[in-house]
Structure 1
Amino acid sequence: MTTQTPAVRLRGITKSFGSNLVVEPLDLEIGRNEFFSILGPSGCGKTTLMRMITGFETPTGGSVELDGKTVDRVSTRERDLNMLFQSYALFPHLSVYENVAFELRVRKTAKAELDTRVREALALVRMEEFAARKPAELSGGQRQRVALARAVVGRPAVVLLDEPLGALDQKLRKEMQFELKRLQREVGITFIYVTHDQEEALTMSDRIAVMSRGRVLQVASPIEIYDAPTSRFVAGFIGSCNLIDAVVESGRVVVPGLGAVPATLPDGTADGARVVVAVRPERMTLSDQPIEGGFAGVIAERVFLGDEWTYHVKAGETELTVRVPSGETSTALAGLPEGGRVWAAWPAAAGRVLPADETASPLIGSPA
């Protein structure tokens, strides 16, 4: 069976500005028709990585391949890709139609083909009826749709999107997340999405690369990233997570003040190793009655969020966050005041043991 050439392949790519190493050497492959997100906090190197793919930045080392061809000496204009930014960058004096048609006119595309492709692109983003309007006559979400149509009308192999939803309000951002994924599936183009928003990445991506301090710490599907993080940073950055400092003693994971806690210890982990137990709040159980294998504590704070209660529990010197769906909250538990006594527990399978160092490599036996 022939292995398909990836849309983008990075080989040992790295970037320094003077003595400042902003992207450490990394290898990465992004498949054809894949929605791939590069996720990380501000300053982690994700935008620099994107700019090296586009050609706006020259790598200090390594190489960039598009469709199996090295493009290190190829200009941005000659690379088979397009870009979408948060600012939209629409021409204010041109109509929606002409904004989308601009690239095709530069390429001297035949009139009939240009018209067909522009109208197809506007239909994809559901903006056909706004073709004659100017950008100033559109809402923020509508302008974003026009920018999307312009990015895909030339049918590039890759579209790179740098924080494209950052200027939209929360409700519109959620709507546009689903629109982006729908559009990507319909046009069959590789999307590389750069964001610091974990919800965006989890909602839309086929795979996610999580970055911190110039390093790619994990590349996996959204479910794997959430359920099986390989470092303390990834566990804490993706969603809410209890990160409990512990030490390995006689093959058990021991938390000072609590004792041995439920966790699956990777094979080969040495006694005395400092670790962290990562437990998602929704995987925990909370009760006003003792739970076998549970830990006694007091409610430091509780917050009602409609569909769930979030409890902050102090167990010894350890602080835990527990989420309980509103429909599953017992009358006795719901009636407890702050300072009320409770018991928290979780199954061993929910306690993921990770290195204590924030960005250290996975422990022996942990999945990559």
Structure 2
Amino acid sequence: MTAVPAVALRGVTKRFGASVAVEPTDLDVSDGEFFSILGPSGCGKTTIMRMIAGFESPTAGTIALDGRDVVGVPTRRRDLNMLFQSYALFPHLSVEDNVAFELRTQRVPRAELRERVAAALDLVQLGEYRGRKPQELSGGQRQRVALARAVVGRPKVVLLDEPLGALDQRLRKDMQFELKRMQRELGITFVYVTHDQEEALTMSDRIAVMSRGRVLQVGSPTEIYDEPANRFVASFIGTCNLLDATATGGVVRVEGVGAVPAVGATDGDVVVAIRPERIRLLPADAPGGIPGRVVEHAFLGDHWLAKVVVGAAVAPMQVQVPAAEGARLLRGIEDGAEVALDWSAADARVLPAEPAASSTRTQEVAA
């Protein structure tokens, strides 16, 4: 028997007047999954979250939570909670009272309320701060209080709208692992909206990548990174070299270079996508290498980064070289030096030439 998704969207569309914020969308989020919706500003990701929460109604389509259609159902009756970037804590209440607020409105018995609040504060490692006010806490601690309040009612789904955006870079990295740990311990379904690819890759079980109101690809972090479905996904997730090419009889050729390692191409114009860490930098006279010229290089601690022009490519290719190997090949060379590049055909993703992110929308809708 197929498990019922915690969240299911079928044909969900959202229009604001003549503008389409979300084109017809199907999505399934499994029970207990950490699912991220990733994309640039204005792509429609927050609009999808607001429709799941009940703050917006879809123009068309259905939204089901645990198999129950909730279109038209008030937010308070959807068995979910939402964690905002602003945290929205009550400044006049203590940490304990902030977390207990929802349980009190539900008239949970006092003994059970104390037990559940204590468990939620222990989960976020703030039990000793229960008597403090929000203004007496750091940004990371306030974020944890907001999370404890979001999960203390044991909702089926927690929606998280860029909750780490107000934190500094180091604290954001720490909280990414903390959020994933808490989600695993709770077993609650998390739907996380972000424009930050690192957050999505670090925490998610699966990711939906959006652009211009459309979901372009859904997959695990490794699938999204290693097997992008189109040019937009390849360029938006991490750093990726994109080479315009032509495929004939399964052979892929780049102008000014000739045949390059790649497999699986259909005849016609294509794009070869290759990650910087998958490219090998070789001496200029290496047999079988693709000739290139270093236009810029830098030592970045655990690796070197070289920018290498090949063939008729307008932009130089970025090549990530391990520190020891880079020291041998790049230390002391001058920009303009000739080198060679090589990569495995299995590491080169052949994509359609046309971007898959095109849209019929008349204008962008911020979301």
Which residue of structure 1 lines up, in the alignment, with residue 352 of structure 2? 355
Letter in 2 for 1:251: G
Corresponding residue to 2:334 among 329, 337, 345: 337
Q: By how many angstroms is 1:330 displaced? A: 4.4
Corresponding residue to 2:304 among 284, 293, 309: 309
Aligned counterparts of 2:186 and 2:323: Cα–Cα separation in 1: 41
Q: By how many angstroms is 1:293 displaced? A: 2.6
Cα displacement string for residues 294-344 of structure 1 (whole angstroms, at most 9, x for unaligned residues): 211111111211111110011232221100011232424322121111111
Q: Is the 8 A contact 1:246 1:256 kept in 2?
A: yes
Q: By how many angstroms is 1:243 displaced? A: 0.6
Cα displacement string for residues 258-286 of structure 1 (whole angstroms, at most 9, x for unaligned residues): 111110124xx23xx21100000000000
Q: By how many angstroms is 1:249 displaced? A: 2.9
The 5 A counterparts of 1:216-295 are 216-266=215-265, 269-270=266-267, 273-295=268-290
Q: Is the 8 A contact 2:214 2:357 kept in 1?
A: no
The 5 A counterparts of 1:83-122 are 83-122=82-121
Q: State yes or no: 1:201 paired with 2:200.
A: yes
Which residue of structure 2 lines up, in the alignment, with residue 364 of structure 1? none
Which residue of structure 1 lines up, in the alignment, with residue 64 of structure 2? 65
Letter in 2 for 1:358: P
Q: By how many angstroms is 1:15 displaced? A: 0.4
Q: By how many angstroms is 1:239 displaced? A: 0.6
Q: By how many angstroms is 1:22 displaced? A: 1.0
Q: Is the 8 A contact 2:251 2:263 kept in 1?
A: no
In the alignment of these two chains, the number of paired residues is: 356
Which residue of structure 2 lines up, in the alignment, with residue 181 of structure 1? 180
Aligned counterparts of 2:107 and 2:204: Cα–Cα separation in 1: 35
Corresponding residue to 1:321 among 315, 318, 321: 318
Q: By how many angstroms is 1:358 displaced? A: 1.5
Identity %: 65
Q: Which protein, 1 or 2, shows the higher relative CO under an 8 Å CA cutoff with sep ≥ 6? A: 2
Q: Could you say what secondary structure the match of 1:29 adopts? A: strand
Computed over aligned residues only, the root mean square deviation of the Cα atoms, in angstroms, reads 1.2
Aligned counterparts of 2:329 and 2:52: Cα–Cα separation in 1: 57
Which residue of structure 1 lines up, in the alignment, with residue 365 of structure 2? none
Letter in 2 for 1:50: M
Q: Is the 8 A contact 2:212 2:357 kept in 1?
A: no
Q: Could you say what secondary structure the match of 1:316 adopts? A: coil
Aligned counterparts of 1:134 and 1:359: Cα–Cα separation in 2: 49
Cα displacement string for residues 13-52 of structure 1 (whole angstroms, at most 9, x for unaligned residues): 0100011011010111100000000000000000001111
Letter in 2 for 1:297: G
Q: By how many angstroms is 1:360 displaced? A: 6.5
TM norm structure 1? 0.95
Aligned counterparts of 1:21 and 1:162: Cα–Cα separation in 2: 21
Q: By how many angstroms is 1:291 displaced? A: 2.8
TM norm structure 2? 0.95
Aligned counterparts of 1:28 and 1:231: Cα–Cα separation in 2: 19
Aligned counterparts of 2:54 and 2:244: Cα–Cα separation in 1: 43
The 5 A counterparts of 1:122-201 are 122-201=121-200
The 5 A counterparts of 1:70-85 are 70-85=69-84
Letter in 1 for 2:342: A
Change (3 A) 1:79 1:16: same
Q: Could you say what secondary structure the match of 2:330 adopts? A: helix
Q: Could you say what secondary structure the match of 1:236 adopts? A: helix
Cα displacement string for residues 166-211 of structure 1 (whole angstroms, at most 9, x for unaligned residues): 0101110010000000000001100000000000000000000000
Aligned counterparts of 1:327 and 1:194: Cα–Cα separation in 2: 39
Q: Could you say what secondary structure the match of 1:329 adopts? A: helix
Q: Is the 8 A contact 1:291 1:345 kept in 2?
A: no
Aligned counterparts of 2:318 and 2:295: Cα–Cα separation in 1: 10
Q: Could you say what secondary structure the match of 1:192 adopts? A: strand
Q: Could you say what secondary structure the match of 1:334 adopts? A: coil
Gaps of 5+ in 2: 359-367
Change (3 A) 1:250 1:67: closer
Letter in 2 for 1:21: V
Change (3 A) 1:161 1:307: same
Cα displacement string for residues 73-103 of structure 1 (whole angstroms, at most 9, x for unaligned residues): 2101111000001101000000000000000
Aligned counterparts of 1:199 and 1:304: Cα–Cα separation in 2: 22
Cα displacement string for residues 101-138 of structure 1 (whole angstroms, at most 9, x for unaligned residues): 00001111110000000000000000001000000000
Q: Is the 8 A contact 2:282 2:339 kept in 1?
A: yes
Aligned counterparts of 1:257 and 1:123: Cα–Cα separation in 2: 62
**Which runs of structure 1 show a deviation greater than 3 angstroms over 4 or more consecutive aligned residues?**
none
Q: State yes or no: 1:41 paired with 2:40.
A: yes
The 10-residue stretch of structure 1 (244-253 or 150-159) with the greater mean CA deviation from structure 2? 244-253
Q: Is the 8 A contact 1:302 1:312 kept in 2?
A: yes
Aligned counterparts of 1:13 and 1:278: Cα–Cα separation in 2: 31
